[in-house]
Homo-oligomer: A and B are copies of this chain.
Amino acid sequence: MSITLNVQGMSCGHCESAVKGALGELEGVNGVDVDLGSGKVEVQYEEGKVTEAQMKEAIEEQGYDVA
């Protein structure tokens, strides 16, 4: 499964690392691709192991908004 989240406020490679790291720590997340320019974050995950709400929370805890 994969989902694409629209994340606002990521401005540099450090931001990308912060978001990738936070998502990567969630059980059930297998991969994360970030496009800084568009703010699109594509998450590969195992259905039933992690929810979209958990992903959003992980991103928001890093200080970014999810549209």
Chain A residues close to B by CB (< 8 Å): 11-15, 18, 63
- Residues of chain B with a CB closer than 8 A to A11's CB: 11-12
Number of copies: 2
Complexed CA–CA distance, A63 and B14 (Å): 11
Complexed CA–CA distance, A11 and B11 (Å): 6
Chain B residue nearest in CB terms to A63: B13
- Residues of chain B with a CB closer than 8 A to A14's CB: 12, 14-15, 18
Ordered by A's residue number, 9 sampled pairs between the chains whose C-beta atoms are within 8 Å are A11-B11, A11-B12, A12-B12, A12-B14, A12-B15, A13-B63, A14-B14, A14-B15, A14-B18
Which 3 A-B pairs have CB atoms at the shortest separation, nearest pair first?
Answer: A14-B14, A11-B11, A11-B12
